[in-house]
Amino acid sequence: MAQAIVLPKLGNTVESAVILTWHVAVGAAVKVGDLLCEIETDKATLDVESSADGILLAQLCRAGDEAPVLSNIAVVGQAGESIAEFLPLGAAPADEVAPDREAGASRAVVAVSGRESRRPVFMSPRACALARRKGLNIEGIQGSGPDGRIIERDIEAAISAQVKLTPVAQAMLDSGEFALADQPPRARRLGKRDLVPIERDDAVQEIPLKGARKVIAARLLESLRTTAQFTLNASADARALLAFRRRCKESAELRAMRNVSINDLLLFAVARTLPNFPELNALIENNTVYQYRAVHLAMAVDSERGLLAPVIRAADALSLPGIAAEAQRLAEACRAGLARPDELAGGTFTVSNLGALGIESFTPVLNPPQVAILGLGSINLKPVQIRDEISFRPHIGLSLTVDHQVVDGAPAARFLQRLSANLAQIDALAE
C-alpha cells in the first residue's frame, strides 16, 4: 500500500522548508531509513529519510521548491499503485511516477506555463525513454495514442520539427552565449551565421532569491509586518569589561577563563540581567504573552548559509565558563552546518553582536515570537565630564529593539540602565 513521505515538524517556529536535493530517483527501490532528500530551513540543513519500504513512486516537490511542514513531499509504494490520494487538489507530482509495466504506460508531469497547477501527461514507456534520451521538453506535445497518450511516433515527430544545427552551431548555442536569429530558415541545417550573440550587462549579476536566504527574507519581512518595533540606543562603560578580560588572560588564578571573550562576558551579563525584566524575556503568540523564568539566550551567528541563532539553554543558571563553552560549541556547529533543529529553536531573547566589524550601533530586527533583541556595537572612546574635567573612556554601544505591543519604553530603558551597571561591575557579577 502506497505511503506518503511527510516533511517532518522542525520545531515550533519553522513553518516550511526548501527541498535542496533529491538523493533517490523516481522508480528506485528504497527501505525504511534510506536518505531520500536534503532540505533546508532558515535555521539548518537536514536529511529526510524514507518511512516505508518499496519504490519511490513520485516526488511531489522539485528541488528548489518550498514546502510547508507536515505536507506530503513524496510517495513510496509498489509499481502501479495510485498516488492520487496524496496529491493536493488540482496538483500533480513534480517528477515522473514509476512506470506501471503491466499497464504499458508511465506518467510524467510537466509544469504548464502561466498556470498555478500542473497537468498530468500520459506517455508510453518507449516514448518516455526516447524523450529522455533526446532531452526533449514534452510540454505542448499532443498525444495521438488512446485517451491522448503520447506515444513514440509523437516524440519522433516533435524531434523532426526541431531546428537542426551544425555541430559548431549547436556548441555555440549550448554555451549560452548565442541565440537563434529571429525567424531563421528551416529548409536547411543552420550554421553559426544563423546565430546572434546574446547581449549581457556584465556589471549586473542575477542571483535568484532561494533556499535559506529566501526563507530568512520572508521571516524578516513578516517580523516587520506583524510587530510594532522600536529601538533604544545607549552605551555602557567598558573599562571593567576590558580589565576583566585582560585579567582572565594573564592571571594564573583565572586560568579556567583564559579563553573567555568580550562577547562571552556580554552574553553572561545579559543572562544575569534579564531575570529582573520578565517582560523582555518573553514570547507573544496568538494574542498571548508568555513570560519565562529561565533565560534561553539566542545568539546571532554568521554562517555560509546566512544568519543563524542557536540557543544557550538556561543561560541564567550557567557560570561564565559554562556560557563561554556553550557559545563556542554552538557557533562552531552553525558554521560547520551541523547545528540540530532543537539547538536553533526555543530562544526567549536574542543577542546580535556586530562590534567586531566596527559597527557602533544599529537597529536589530526582532526574531518572532520573541519580543526583544539586543544589538551590541563596538567599543569606542567617549567623552565623559567629571566635575569640571572631560576625560575619554571606552564605551560599548547597546541597541535594544522591542515589540511595542508588549514592551513599553520605560521598562526597556530600565533594562539597558541595569545592563550598563552590570557591565560596569562585571568582575563582581562573575564571582
End-to-end CA distance of the chain: 63
Per-residue confidence (pLDDT) for residue 166, from 0 to 100: 84
Q: What residues contact residue 97 under an 8 Å CB cut-off, 6+ apart?
A: 26, 57, 58, 83, 106, 107, 108, 109
Pairing mode of beta strands 372-386, 349-353: parallel
330 and 392 fall within a common domain: yes
One domain, residues 143 and 173: no
Q: Are residues 140 and 10 in the same domain?
A: yes
Helix (H) or strand (E) holding 250: helix 239-250
- Type and span of the H or E element at 200: none
Closest CA to 399 of 351, 357, 356: 351
252/321 same-domain check: yes
Where in the sequence is the domain holding 179, given as residue range(s)?
167-197
User: Is 173 found in the same domain as 154?
Assistant: no
- Say whether both 250 and 382 belong to one domain: yes
pLDDT value for 132: 66
**Residues 286 and 422 both lie in one domain:** yes
216 within some domain: no
* pLDDT score for 415: 98
pLDDT value of position 116: 35
Nearest-10 Cα torsion for 276, 280, 283, 287: 110
Tell me how many degrees the CA angle 272-273-275 measures, rounded to the nearest 5. 85
Rounded to whole angstroms, the Cα distance separating 359 from 331 reads 20
Amino acid 313: pLDDT: 97
| Cα–Cα distance, 360 to 362 (Å, whole number) | 7
Q: What is the grid cell recorded at 62?
A: 522539485
- Let me know if residue 424 belongs to a domain: yes
Same domain assignment for residues 192 and 262 = no
Residue 176: how many CB atoms within 10 A of its CB? 9
Q: Do 243 and 342 fall into the same domain?
A: yes
CATH of the domain at 386: 3.30.559.10
Looking at the structure, tell me whether residues 80 and 190 fall in a common domain.
Answer: no
Q: What is the chain's Cα-based Rg? A: 30
Burial class (CB in 10 A: 0-12, 13-18, 19+), 217: middle
In a domain, 305, yes or no: yes
Q: Do 72 and 176 share a domain, yes or no?
A: no
Domain CATH code at residue 104: 2.40.50.100
Report the DSSP beta bridge partners of residue 58: 75
pLDDT for 324 equals: 94
State yes or no: cis peptide before 208, omega within 30 of 0: no
Quote the CA–CA distance of 353 and 397 in Å, as a whole number.
10
Does residue 32 lie within any of the structural domains? yes
| Residue in 53, 41, 48, 99 with CA at minimum distance from that of residue 72 | 48
Q: For the full predicted model, state whether its pTM sits above 0.95.
A: no
Residue 344 CB coordination number (10 Å):
25
CA atoms within 13 A on the CB side of 219: 23
pLDDT for res 295: 97
Interatomic CA distance for residues 17 and 11, integer angstroms: 12
Burial 303-330 (b: 16+ CB within 10 A, else e): eebbbbbbbbeebbebebbebbbbbeeb
Report yes or no: 216 and 42 within 8 Å, Cβ to Cβ.
yes
Per-residue confidence of the chain (431 residues) as pLDDT tens digits?
Answer: 889 999 988 766 677 888 888 999 888 999 999 999 988 876 677 889 999 999 999 888 888 788 888 889 999 999 888 887 887 644 445 544 444 443 344 444 333 223 333 444 566 767 776 776 666 667 678 888 776 778 888 887 887 677 777 888 878 877 777 777 766 565 567 788 888 887 766 677 777 777 677 778 888 899 999 999 999 999 999 999 999 999 888 877 777 788 899 999 999 999 999 999 999 999 999 999 999 999 999 999 998 878 889 999 999 999 999 999 999 999 999 998 888 888 999 999 999 999 999 999 999 999 999 999 999 999 999 999 988 899 999 999 999 999 999 999 999 999 999 999 999 999 888 87
Domain annotation covers residue 210: no
Domain count, the chain: 3
